[in-house]
Amino acid sequence: MQNDFLVTSVPVTPKTSRIGVLTWPYLIELISKALKIDPVFSINAFHSYLESSDVEIKKYLDFLHGNGVYADDVYIDRNHLHRIKKLVQYMFSQNLIKIENKIIYRCSCGRVDVLNLENDIQYDTAKLYSIKDKMAYCNFCNTECKPYSEKVLVMPVDISKCQEVQIVPNLYESYFNNLYKKFSNQSFLISKNRETGIKVNLDGQDFNIDVDFSWMLFTALLPDKNKIIIAGNRHILKMMKIHYVNSILKQKSVIFLATSYNMKNLDFDETKAFFEIEDANYKKLFLLYHQSWNNHTNSRIWDKSIYKFLKKQTVEKRERLYSAIMNTDIKITKNMQEKMLLLVKNINLSKNYKQIQNIKE
């Protein structure tokens, strides 16, 4: 293994209801094997209102195992609660996070709890509320999000402290940098009024730490290595926050891999198709081929033609298709971001039907 890198994903909620949740684990395994680096499977057990039980986490890990992913090294955020609190206290002592009086917009149920800045931009919280007649209303309790003046914990953004942005596909670099410009000299709210399960005392006052902030810290809680982190292309702001925290804590570099999202196809049952064939390479290729690496800014639908193609291949040919993704060019290249770009290119080539048909039986 290459000892100075590991590959993981943004901590995931341990769900087994959709096959798409296997995409990141499959990519972690592929990248680990192709680049000979350590895999870490990251789990978000806090995830806001509903804490995952040990039973749910075991069910998720069994789900991975049953579908060909052997998650030996697992990071579960709940198991690092003491370290998370210590890290928050350290950041406060270093002025990286601060207590400030701010106007906070909050609904009756507490799900919406945001700064005015986030109300304007909406990147992270748009799913929580809707704008009607220039007012924000919670999508859960339907009450108006009213302003409150109070002491809260914030993380100011100073882009002069940022590490180099590395993201694959690299078309996202400009979007990433534009986000930094938009948030420059602003602050992120990192405490909540409601109970979050992560309470920290700072200057004699208790603060409930936002669950999202707890996993923004996870690069500092993983082994001290450079990291490849997989996340969805709809979560660039979350990547930016992880990148910023990683930068101000002066951790080793991060390379992000942005995956695409598949919309439901009313004419195709992707779950039935996925479980129809008991072949690990079929399942992995089925999900890998559904990544829209060339046109990555748009969502795509589950594609019946991919299912038809993979179904008619022999077990041996599917094995060769999977192995072809990890060709020798990747191992020769020294730059890790270039390796990732090559890997994405190889997935595209592998699913290109003209290229595929040239692979001999």
pLDDT digits (tens, 9 = 90+) for 36-84: 999 999 998 886 545 568 888 999 999 999 999 988 899 999 899 999 9
- CA 79 from centre of chain: 19
The reply to whether 231 falls in a domain is no
- Give residue-wise pLDDT tens across range 229-272: 999 988 888 999 999 999 999 999 999 999 988 889 999 999 99
Range of the structural domain that residue 199 is part of:
81-214
Q: Identify whether the C-beta of residue 193 lies closer than 8 Å to the C-beta of residue 104.
A: yes
Q: How many residues does the chain have?
A: 361
Cβ atoms within 10 Å, residue 24: 22
Which tokens in the block code for residue 213?
Answer: 């902030």
> In a 3-state reduction of DSSP, which class is residue 335?
coil
Q: Judge whether residue 218 has pLDDT over 50.
A: yes
**Residue reference for tokens 């400009």:** 174
The reply to whether 93 falls in a domain is yes
The reply to whether 146 falls in a domain is yes
Alpha carbon separation from 281 to 106, 313, 317 (Å, rounded): 47, 11, 10
Could you give the CA distance from residue 300 to residue 23 in angstroms, rounded to a whole number? 14
Which has more confidence, 330 or 340?
340
Strands 146-156 and 187-189: antiparallel
The reply to whether 345 falls in a domain is yes
Looking at the fold, whether 193 and 90 belong to one and the same domain comes out as yes
Number of domains in the chain: 2
**Residue reference for tokens 């996070």:** 97
Q: What is the DSSP letter of 196?
A: -
The reply to whether 5 falls in a domain is no
The reported pTM is 0.90
Q: Judge whether residue 179 has pLDDT over 50.
A: yes
The reply to whether 21 falls in a domain is no
Looking at the fold, whether 198 and 317 belong to one and the same domain comes out as no
CATH code of 85's domain:
2.170.220
> In a 3-state reduction of DSSP, which class is residue 45?
coil
